[in-house]
Structure 1
Amino acid sequence: MDLDSALRISAAGMQAQATRLRVVAENIANQDSTGSSPGADPYRRKTVTFANRLDRAAGVELLELRRIGTASGDFPQTHDPSHPAANADGYVKRPNVDSLIEMMDVREAQRSYSANLAVLETTRGMLTRTIEALR
């Protein structure tokens, strides 16, 4: 593998993890966002799916965002008859966002981003030393 390919691969990985971090940040920001009318659905957790894409020009597979979807499943409910989104029985649907899961996703994305950054920096250093050797 040449150095240009290494740069492309690590840059694509960093871009994918940055998108993942933005989606997780949105989930955390909306973990308390309930519906605005009685019985309305609250914020639904977003998920990120990645895929490999062949870059024919470089001859390497790159990581890319496949899609941003939503998590399925039921919403947890709490009893709060005074809430504007409470149904007839006094229950409010809460978002299906678990802060522990989101924080684990943040850590994993940070580590992946850091690993790709380290590859990028190492490759850049190798390119710099190669150019200096050619002078």
Structure 2
Amino acid sequence: MDLMKSMLIAASGLKTQGGRMRVIAENMANAGSTAKTPEGDPYRRKIPTFTTELDRANGVERVKMGKIERSNSAFGERYEPGHPAANDKGYVKTSNVNTMIESIDMGQAQRGYEANLNVINTSRRMLNATIELLRR
């Protein structure tokens, strides 16, 4: 039955890494955004957090998405005096998303997803092999 527990834990990891990839994709899609008004703020980078929860019915601790926090890093500025959101000096606030960091985070999330998928596939093969041995 421990193989089933490992599959439950890995499945929660798959779901969590999938959620992490969605947040990263949203960040990357909004990386070039600007404020809509001179007083407004552009898109602010989102940071996924993780928590664990005890699954008492199965006796395992699963990982899950926690709150999605907002980055406190400073916005960028771009000189574009003709932009509708330019301030009196001609600067427009730009998003605080760094696509290089997001790309690295995406790679880590993909590797985490693949690792959890490998755990599920290996556990499934081991269960099938055990069933075949019991049939003989």
Normalising by the smaller structure, the TM-score range is over 0.9
Give the corresponding residue for 1:54: 54
Give the corresponding residue for 2:88: 88
Superposed displacement of residue 73, structure 1: 2.4
CA-to-aligned-CA distance 1:29-80 (integer Å, 9 cap, x gap): 0001112222310000011000111111111111111111111122111111
Take 2:128 and 2:88, find their aligned partners in 1: how far apart are those partners?
68
Take 2:10 and 2:77, find their aligned partners in 1: how far apart are those partners?
42
Structure 2 residue runs of 5 or longer lacking an equivalent are: none
SS of equivalent to 2:51 = strand
Give the corresponding residue for 1:66: 66
Give the corresponding residue for 2:127: 127
Take 2:65 and 2:82, find their aligned partners in 1: how far apart are those partners?
41
Superposed displacement of residue 8, structure 1: 0.3
Structure 1 residue runs of 5 or longer lacking an equivalent are: none
Give the partner amino acid of 2:41: D
CA-to-aligned-CA distance 1:79-118 (integer Å, 9 cap, x gap): 1101111111111000000011001100110111111111
Give the partner amino acid of 1:92: V
Take 1:130 and 1:42, find their aligned partners in 2: how far apart are those partners?
56
Take 1:73 and 1:24, find their aligned partners in 2: how far apart are those partners?
16
Q: Is the 8 A contact 1:39 1:86 kept in 2?
A: no
Comparing 24-33 and 82-91, the one that deviates more: 82-91
Comparing 17-26 and 37-46, the one that deviates more: 37-46
Structure 1 residue ranges, 4+ long, deviating more than 6 angstroms after superposition = none
Give the partner amino acid of 2:66: R
Give the corresponding residue for 2:22: 22
Take 1:71 and 1:40, find their aligned partners in 2: how far apart are those partners?
16
Return the TM-score normalized by structure 2: 0.95
Give the corresponding residue for 1:78: 78
Return the TM-score normalized by structure 1: 0.95
Take 2:43 and 2:8, find their aligned partners in 1: how far apart are those partners?
35
Q: How many residues align?
A: 135
RMSD: 1.1
Residue 38 (str. 1) matches residue 38 (str. 2):
yes
Take 2:78 and 2:39, find their aligned partners in 1: how far apart are those partners?
12
Residue 112 (str. 1) matches residue 112 (str. 2):
yes
